[in-house]
Structure 1
Amino acid sequence: MTDINLHDAEITGIEHDEASQELILKATHPSGEKYQIVFLTVEWWELCSFGVQNVLFSIAPFDKHSLTKGIIVDQDIPDQYAKMVSEGDYVFFIIKASIGLEGWVLAAEMRIDPV
């Protein structure tokens, strides 16, 4: 994963490619640089509040070592998805917003691609 500070990046679009199991968030960094946040081998995702303005606070990854019961309960993660993370094949990504789009993604990995 490229080391890019996601704080205050604006999400300008969402694309889901079911065939390739990718979820893509199109983003613009406060510096003006455009990039895509790509989630690979996506099993499930829940996003809400995508509106006119969507500014990221952070994307926090939780793997089998860091996903706690508290996070599972707080995020209302179904048991089968928590099990997939605990088995080590998937990572749970929590998308926190300053405003707008937020939610979570269950995927094998995430990468950031400059556009």
Structure 2
Amino acid sequence: MKMAMKDGMLRIIEADITQAAIIKSWGSMKYSRSNQMYEGPVSMELLNKLAGIVKLPPAIEAVRKNMNEVQEAVDRERIRKDPKPLVQYPVTKSLYQHQVRAANMALLTFGLVPPEKEEYRDE
């Protein structure tokens, strides 16, 4: 099996019969007869499923690991009892806890704050 990632799409060619059946059962990739390949949007779920059946190329594995790290950081922020702002937010009033939590989660999700920076804070 060969795969490539370009423009937010994952493309797979030369999948054997078993791999093709598994990929087809997920319903997240479409098969193009003209190009003889499966194609679907890159997502954490898709990459994790693929990692379970084949060894991903190093570049794609790095993307998968980064997506998982970001998701874990967002999940930790979601359940944090006393969230502290990751950055100084440009607002004049004090933010409520749920607002700080949501803003922190947005920064993590959109990659404006790396998950490592979030690690040093108290739990």
Classify the TM-score, shorter chain: under 0.3
Give the TM-score normalised by structure 1. 0.26
Between Structure 1 and Structure 2, which shows a larger proportion of helix residues? Answer: 2
Between Structure 1 and Structure 2, which shows a larger proportion of strand residues? Answer: 1
> Relative contact order (C-alpha < 8 Å, sep 6+): which is higher?
1
Give the TM-score normalised by structure 2. 0.25
